[in-house]
Amino acid sequence: MLAHQGSYKAMAIAAAVSVLSIVLLMMDMRWVYLLVYVWFGVIYGLLLQYGRFCMASAIRDLFAIKVPRMAVGVMIATALFSLTAGLVTVSGYSTFHPHPLGWHIIAGGLIFGFGMIFTGGCASGSLYKSGEGNVASMLVLLSISFSQALFVDLGSWSNSLAPSSWVASAAEKGMPESLSVNDGWFDTFTAGYIWDLSGGTIAQSLDSGNSWLDVFVGNALLGAILPTVVLLILLYITTYRKGYIRRNKIESPTFNDHMHGCWAMMTTSKNTALAGLGLGVFAGLQMWATGALREHYNIFNFGELLQKMGYTQGLSIQETVFDPGYWYITTQEAQLGGWVLDKAGIDVMDNIFFGLMNGIPNPLINAPLLMSVGIIAGAAILALTRHEFKWKVPNMETAIFALVGGALMGIGARLGMGCNVGAFFAAVTNGDMTGWIFLAGMLGGGLLGVKVFTMWIDWRTSADDDFDI
């Protein structure tokens, strides 16, 4: 009986998203732009839950229990997305913008990677686990949202932390007074440091005149596929080879044995590998769909469309909103935190992050935020169907880890200009090498986090007589 209930609830969620989509389209066909985000979110949610796809798990399980399952899945998704992203780029519909290169990338990765070990999930992992009824993951989302919103809106007390060179450089940018670029550390960091940096993709550096060659050899092959192959070989050597040879009773392993071993490692978890394949394909399709709609409506940003539709509240002073056009997680969560703070009477539009760049649109018309809601819905649909949905209320230990870890993830994401998806996955697959630097930071932070977490578990089990059998 319960099994049926789960399926009915899953169908009810799918029906609700479908009906709301139809109603929106009947009101105004231009809502299709927002619905592309929603439905790709639903697909990501289904795939993430199906493959238990989580970047925190990739790093944590690797260091803590020597399991490469998830790291392999991420590598498969990365290699494939680089090809679909390449197709989108040469077709002229890419929405990707490379990140500026600087120390902030590795610092952000370190803090983000350390925090996510304690939360039990990365940015997108916390979304799909929320869809499984995990209340601790919901706390992580809240913590990521508000920590980001508060971090980008740091008050005057933080001014002295910014070097004088940043202050001078920020003052030269000629920004409107309403943004008060030298009031608040994050504003000075953005205008006086980030804006002085440059970045680019491998294809842009090659610039051979043949876009296919630049994109597929530069961005995809050199920037993503070769590094993932190297990492897969490293994963095999360091975590899988020994056990594979022992289990298969191979006495003198040949090259062929190792090739079979690599294949066995990649297919250990078929769910994870298939989810990686699906994410790679759909992440590219989303970029294409959004790029095509931008061309169709002759816009560069969803803010323009919102304005044409009569929605002007919450737009930035450039009349834009956050609109990456691809899989992204953290900035829209910051917008949610900013919107709530604004409603509570705290002016957050006087900073660059919200006031100039991303705005704080109403969550009901915030397209990337609704993609995140779609991820939760998609994960809930599959979890209910597979009888894996269960409301799980965290104990005090888990709740504290979720809130503190989530806050660190939020701060790391803003410093590094994205999370494991925006700053790593979307970057490296589009030929932007800052993504690998963010990964290096995440690995360092993750390793440190696992050491601290292991010490915590050791202390807990040594203090707990129940575990001492």
What residues make contact with another protein under the rule CB under 8 A?
2-3, 6, 52, 54, 56-57, 60-61, 64-70, 117, 120-121, 125, 129, 132-134, 136-137, 239-240, 243, 246-247, 268-269, 271-272, 383, 387-390, 392-395, 398, 453-454, 457, 460-461, 464, 466-467, 469
Residue 236 or 353 having the CB closest to another protein: 236
How many CA within 13 A on the CB side of residue 187? 32
Spell out the residues 6+ positions from residue 432 whose beta carbon is closer than 8 angstroms to its own. 96, 98, 99, 199, 200, 201, 223
Tokens of 323: 């609109």
In the block, tokens 């990140």 appear at 99
Nearest alpha carbon to residue 224 among 466, 366, 426? 426
How many Cβ atoms are within 10 Å of 227's Cβ, its own excluded? Answer: 20
Of residues 22 and 393, the one with the C-beta less far from another protein: 393
We find the least distance from the C-beta atom of residue 67 to another protein, in angstroms, to be 4
What is the spatial distance between Cα 330 and Cα 368, in angstroms, rounded to a whole number?
Answer: 10
- Which CB atom, from 57 or from 219, has the smaller least distance to another protein? 57
For residue 122, the minimal CB distance to another protein (Å) is: 10
| Shorter beta-carbon distance to another protein: residue 51 or 303 | 51
Comparing CB distances to another protein, the nearer of 83 and 141 is 141
Residue 58 CA to residue 61 CA, distance in Å, equals 6
* Min dist. Cβ of residue 465 to another protein (A): 10
Give me the least distance between CB of 116 and another protein, in Å please. Answer: 10
268/307 with CB nearer another protein: 268
- CA of 382: how far to CAs of 54, 269, 327, in Å? 16, 18, 20
Least spacing, CB of residue 247 vs another protein, in Å = 7
Residue closer to another protein by CB (options 61, 323) is 61
| DSSP characters over 355-387 | IIII----GGG-HHHHHHHHHHHHHHHHHHHTT
CB of 69 to another protein, least distance (A): 4
Nearer to another protein among residue 122 and residue 417 (C-beta): 122
Which residue, 41 or 133, is less far from another protein as judged by CB? 133
C-alpha 277/C-alpha 269 separation (Å) is 13
| Distance (Å, whole) CA 39 – CA 370 | 9
- Give me the least distance between CB of 271 and another protein, in Å please: 7
Q: What does the alpha-carbon distance between residue 202 and residue 369 come to, in Å, rounded to a whole number?
A: 30
By 3-state DSSP, what share of the chain in percent is helix, strand and coil, each rounded to 5?
Answer: 75, 0, 25
Nearer to another protein, 137 or 420 (CB): 137
Question: d(Cα 61, Cα 51) in Å, to the nearest integer?
Answer: 15
DSSP per-residue string spanning 264-324: HHHTSSHHHHHHHHHHHHHHHHHHHHHHHHHHHHT-SSHHHHHHHTT--TT--TTS-----
Rounded Cα–Cα distance for residues 172 and 30 (Å): 39
Neighbours of 138 (CB within 10 A): 18
Q: How far is the CB of 120 from another protein (least distance, A)?
A: 4
Q: State phi, psi for 248 to the nearest 5 degrees.
A: -95, 5
CB of 144 to another protein, least distance (A): 16
Closest CB 61 distance from another protein, rounded Å = 5
The CB-of-376 to another protein minimum distance in angstroms stands at 15
Nearer of residues 205 and 238 to another protein, judged by Cβ: 238
